[in-house]
A = this chain, B = another copy of it.
Amino acid sequence: MAKKNLEEFAYHSIIRLILDNHFKPGDFLLETQLSEDLELSRTPVRHALGQLVAEGFLDKKKKKGCFIPAVSPEDARHIFTVRENLEGLAAASAARQVTDRDVAFLYGLLDQEEALKKAPSKLAYVHVNESFHLGIARISQNKYLEQYCRHAFWRSHSYIFFFDNYYTGKLVSGNQETGPRQHMEIVQAIENRNEEKAGNLMKQHVRTTFEQMFVKL
């Protein structure tokens, strides 16, 4: 990534590190270490960390540092409850605002998911999934809804990696079965401008993701 703007560079780099599971819950993200790794001074790193904390992406202990928030079944339930409602609302709104161009975009993502069945790649699946959920949030045309959906999605995503590490794959592979099918139904509801159905399907989809993840608990 180009380093035109160091603050943005630091911000996106750190997010990428987190989403790619470079840290585990409880790990501290030290300003000094990050600035060394990213080869820039503490100032932009510090700014980026401040943003991530403000967004609820990281927790912070004063005079100690920023760290990946602890995970717990209760915390997961909290974030997925919010996601369920926010994304349900987003899907309903998207069904109202959707353009032909948006529909084409969503079908393009479904095609990518289909292609991934032949050549499975967890990272690729994660990226398509992110595009799908955040794409619908964007189509809702409500910037606040989009913002909250993005944060909630990112936060909840830590759980996918975390539990995937500890409960080896079963749930994610399960999600790779039901996920794409539910995605298709959601896209169809949005295409048909059926707000209520789109909202309910999305709500159900997020809930399913949560339940599959915690099948072991």
Give the segment of A24-32, A74-82, A186-194 that binds chain B.
A74-82
**A143 beta carbon closer than 8 Å to chain B:** yes
Q: How far is the CA of A81 from the CA of B90 in the complex (A)?
A: 11
User: Judging by beta carbons under 8 Å apart, are B55 and A142 in contact?
Assistant: no
User: Judging by beta carbons under 8 Å apart, are A82 and B148 in contact?
Assistant: yes
CB within 8 Å for A78 and B142 given contacts A47-B50, A51-B51? yes
Chain B residues with CB below 8 A from A148, complex form:
82, 86, 148, 151-152
* Chain A interface size range: 20 to 34
User: Judging by beta carbons under 8 Å apart, are A56 and B155 in contact?
Assistant: no
Nearest Cβ distance between residue A71 and chain B, in whole angstroms? 13
CB within 8 Å for A50 and B56 given contacts A85-B85, A142-B81, A144-B82? no
Q: How far is the CA of A27 from the CA of B42 in the complex (A)?
A: 30
In A134-190, which residues have CB < 8 Å from any B CB?
A: 142-145, 147-148, 151-152, 155
Chain B residues with CB below 8 A from A78, complex form:
142-145
Chain B residues with CB below 8 A from A54, complex form:
50-52, 54-55
Instruction: Choose among A82, A147, A148 the residue with the greatest number of B CB atoms under 10 Å from its CB.
Output: A82
Task: Mark A34-70 against chain B: 1 for CB-CB distance below 8 A, else 0.
Answer: 0000000000001100111111100000100000000
Chain B residues with CB below 8 A from A62, complex form:
5
Nearest Cβ distance between residue A181 and chain B, in whole angstroms? 27
Q: Which 7 residue pairs are nearest across A and B when measured between Cβ atoms?
A: A54-B54, A51-B54, A78-B142, A82-B144, A148-B148, A79-B144, A54-B55
